[in-house]
Structure 1
Amino acid sequence: MADQQPIIEINQVWKEYGSNIVLESLNLSVNQGDFISIVGASGCGKTTFLNMLLGTETPSRGEILLDGEPLSQEPGVERGIVFQKYSVFPHLTALDNVVLGLEVDTQGTSSRLLGRLFGQRKQDAIEQARKILDQVGLLSAQDKYPHELSGGMRQRLSIAQALIKKPRILLLDEPFGALDPGIRKDMHVLVKSLWKEQNLTVFMITHDLSEGFHLGSRLWVFDHARNDEQAPERFGAQVTFDIPTEQVEHSMPDLIQKKIA
């Protein structure tokens, strides 16, 4: 709807490290239920941007708003993240890994205890975890340890960890990069179904352009609109394309591929 309040607003955001400008002049808005695929050459600030959405990095200038209010400068339960490298605990079963998400905040750079669960609260958490494991196709593996799971199953477990807190925003940092092509297709089906069923707002970094077009409802291309070969740190990356994926012309993927190569 045209008058829909954006869930995320990015207003004149810059990210700088000393004299090195990583991102500059980002002005974007995202509605609830958008699936943003993010592509771009290595080193153009995609992960830095995702970390700002998570709350582990802060803008140097400008602001990011969530529901019209400044985004919390620390990870919050409304945001879940899945990394390319599995973030599961090897000494815990699949079920315990997911239950732990309700006891420990593992979304940032370090873990912090939210509160141990006992009695009925513990049983309720176990039931929630089983439902999530069922959603990602791991209920039959609930008692297995991560080393007993395949790569695709471990990534499903990471997604279950992220979903247990019922986030509104799911951040995916190259979540399928280490998976075989067949398993990636299965994961595509899973993520797309979870996105639609739960009306999630998703931001996904990928180096696979076809994956970005296939999964996302919008494709953002991070690139340097301005360059200085003598001082490449002078200018930061911007979102140079913001494309509704259903409107993509056949020639567009080739043009973008040249930009991110």
Structure 2
Amino acid sequence: MIIKEKKIHFWNGNKSATRRNYEKQLLTLCLQEAGITDADIIVDECDYPVAEDEGNVFSNGCDLLVSVAGNQKFSGKPTTIIEIPVCRGVLGHRLLVIPQKQAEYFANINNIHQLQQMTIGIPATWADADLFRHNGFTVSEKGSLDDLFMRLLDREFDYIALGANEIESIFEQFNGEKKGLLLEPTILIYYSLPLVFYIHPHRQDLVSIIKSGLTTAIANGKHESLFEEHHPDLINRLALRTRTAFRLTNPYLPSQLKNFRPKL
């Protein structure tokens, strides 16, 4: 395969450190599996707290990025989406962070209306905010991931929902347990939220390269190995199959991914 320009500007901001590391290594793997060994990947981890700014990253030199399929910030933008999920749907498995004092109350939740009647805290610009609102939840969308835990402690809202692939590292990073917070052990909120590559319309060379490399890595098992390296024993460690599960709908999925099912 032929790459038009060896420099590849990869925007990798507005996400947790866990996702940044995985998605950066995934891009390298895709290039390698497509036979591209001399690319110069320039990683931009700048965060954009304003949704409009994130939606305009392709106007600021970005060649490609990874985001959730159907991200409304890119709706109508001239981008090419490779509709092959890159993280097996794990981001749509949302687990809760709650105040420790509320552990008994959450452990007795048995219907979705109880969660809808409370308020969920979500950082500004996160795609989840519109999705939760669509499903009848009360949402406090404000600030950044960095201040989310302090806002929960200040009781601005009742709980946080984070992806199973990142919740442990984020909780540890912000010393959640020491601050009186808890990784709630009984509830799972699930919605289809596949992560996919978005590519600048002027870098069509990358479309065929990334698609070929990702397809090859999935077929030969290297994609699964990378996933397991970053998310070891995820299902058992977080008891994903034994929690009380509440399923939400995602109206923003592109038509090709309407029937997406996670592969965990």
Shorter-chain-normalised TM-score: which range?
Answer: under 0.3
User: Relative contact order: is structure 1 or structure 2 higher (C-alpha 8 Å, sep ≥ 6)?
Assistant: 2
More strand by share: 1
Could you tell me the TM-score, scaled by structure 2's length?
Answer: 0.23
